Amino acid sequence: MPLRVHPVIASLTPYSPGKPLSELERELGVSHAIKLASNENPWGPSPKALQVLEGASSSLHRYPDGGAHYLRQDLADRLKVAPDQVLVGNGSDEIISLLVKAFLSPGEEAVMADLTFVMYRLAVLGGHAVPVEVPLVNWTHDLDAMVKAVTDRTRLLFICNPNNPTGTMVTAQALDRALSQLPDHVVVVLDEAYYEYVRDPDYPDSLRYVREGRPCVVLRTFSKIFGLAGLRVGYGITTPEISGYVNRVRPPFNVNSLAQEAARAALSDDEHVAKSRGMNEAEMTFLEEGLKNLGLSCIPSQANFLYFDVGMDGKRVYDALLKEGVIVRHIRGSMVRVTIGQPTENHRFLDALKMVLAVLTSVQ
């Protein structure tokens, strides 16, 4: 008997993770390829996290603490909320899926931008629910239009701030206005994966809304500035009521023991965060200048990546850069996203881009 798969599931495109660096190097015959495609911290993990990992491995025969007691306590202390307001997940990706599972039934709606983190759409479709996609304005979330897109069937509204892939942010004022207009049955997901990189003083203090008891979830992660993407750990700050519902659908051991220990150490390493943030800022300025010198304009970014227009088919530029051992992300049309790397990586990216654009322009 043939498999019976729901057409919605069959129609999904699996997330494309890309090949391991070593495999790519072998296929392309290049060495020292650089990956500027996933917005990881190019400076690596916090040294404090690496240190605790050595000690933590001796208890790998035990299941992890299913309640992530100490990690949640640390986060609660630092963020001035109660521990029952802290959710942890196997990356914040998992928390997105758990929110969908807890709040969206088949046919119900989740409002999101039309150019934002792809996991929202995938998770919502996977839950047989309906993504309602609202176009960006000036590469930024159009919160007024998103509020207008809310119906009786809306359960979740995703705001990626700063937005991946555009790097733009919504201001405190804009968010305040939107939240004051939203009905209480909508859970607002404020995805702040790049929170620690933001420099704009108009960035919202989103935890304030959680402390006020509004129905929102602030998502943050150890995958970006904390440099622990490989361990998979993210967290959400929300009301005790919302975390109670998410915990009903959460698998008991969703964050592994090494991740819990390393995350606690990384959280305490203010020096690593400050250094990473400073380097990012300096290198972003360097890359922006470099792109400008190539005649390319990029959108001002509050994160650790730049989104820019290559002025031709972005896929061709992506492929050509790949052959030079430089991996970026082609988003759509002529738009490409590059993660801010270490200085040598950024130089190499700019050199490769300059060469590739010259070649592709001459054969056009």
Ligand X SMILES: *Cc1c(COP(=O)(O)O)cnc(C)c1O
Phi and psi angles of residue 178, each rounded to the nearest 5 degrees, phi first:
-65, -45
Q: In this chain, which stretch among 10-18, 142-150, 216-224, 240-248 interacts with ligand X, using CB under 6 A?
A: 216-224
By CB under 6 A, is residue 86 in contact with ligand X? no
Q: Is the peptide bond before 165 cis (omega within 30 degrees of 0)?
A: yes
Contacting ligand X (CB under 6 A), which of 64, 74, 87, 117? Answer: 117
Q: Which stretch binds ligand X (CB under 6 A): 168-176, 220-228, 292-300, 344-352?
A: 220-228
Q: Is 93 in the site for ligand X (CB under 6 A)?
A: yes
Residue nearest to ligand X (CB): 91
User: Is residue 175 involved in binding ligand X (CB under 6 A)?
Assistant: no
Selected binder of ligand X within 154, 223, 260, 302 (CB under 6 A): 223
Q: Which two tokens stand for residue 14?
A: 């699996």
164 binds ligand X (CB under 6 A): yes
Q: Which is nearer to ligand X, 136 or 360 (CB)?
A: 136
How far is the C-alpha of 44 from the C-alpha of 24, rounded, in Å? 21
Dihedrals phi, psi of 68, to nearest 5 degrees: 45, 50
Strand extents, DSSP E, the chain: 34-35, 86-89, 109-113, 130-134, 154-160, 187-191, 216-221, 234-237, 305-309, 326-327, 329-332, 335-339
Residue 196 touches ligand X, criterion: CB under 6 A: no
Q: Is the four-CA dihedral 278, 281, 287, 293 of positive or negative sign?
A: negative
Which residue spans within 253-350 are E strands per DSSP? 305-309, 326-327, 329-332, 335-339
Q: Closer CB to ligand X, residue 116 or residue 346?
A: 116
Classify residue 308 as left (phi > 0), alpha (psi -120 to 50) or beta: beta
64: which DSSP letter? P
**Cis amide linkage into residue 162, ω under 30° from 0:** yes
Residues 193 and 223 sit within 8 Å (Cβ to Cβ):
yes
Tell the smallest beta-carbon distance from residue 243 to ligand X (Å).
Answer: 17
Please give the structure tokens belonging to residue 58.
């001796």
Give the binding range for ligand X (CB under 6 A) out of 121-129, 219-227, 249-257, 353-361. 219-227
| 35/348 with CB nearer ligand X | 35
Residue with Cβ nearer ligand X (303 or 352): 303
Other CB atoms within 10 Å distance of the CB of residue 328? 25
Q: Is 229 in the site for ligand X (CB under 6 A)?
A: yes
Q: Is 34 in the site for ligand X (CB under 6 A)?
A: no
Contact pattern for ligand X over residues 277 through 316, marking x by CB under 6 A:
----------------------------------------
Q: Does 260 bind ligand X (CB under 6 A)?
A: no
Is 39 a binding residue for ligand X by CB under 6 A? The answer is yes
Task: Name the one range near ligand X by CB under 6 A: 86-94, 134-142, 210-218, 307-315.
Answer: 86-94
Q: Is 92 in the site for ligand X (CB under 6 A)?
A: yes
Residue corresponding to tokens 């070649």: 359
Helix, strand, coil distribution of the chain in percent, nearest 5 = 45, 15, 40
The answer to whether residue 193 forms part of the interface with ligand X (CB under 6 A) is yes
Q: What are phi and psi of 59, to 5 degrees?
A: -110, 30
206 binds ligand X (CB under 6 A): no
Closest distance of CB 234 from ligand X, Å = 3
Contact status: 320 vs ligand X (CB under 6 A): no
* Stretch binding ligand X (CB under 6 A), from 54-62, 90-98, 179-187, 208-216: 90-98
Question: How far apart (Å, rounded) are the C-alpha atoms in residues 312 and 333?
Answer: 8
Listed ranges 88-96, 103-111, 130-138, 325-333: which one lies at the site for ligand X (CB under 6 A)? 88-96
Q: Can you give the binding site for ligand X, defined by CB under 6 A?
A: 39, 91-93, 117, 160, 164, 191, 193, 221, 223-224, 229, 234
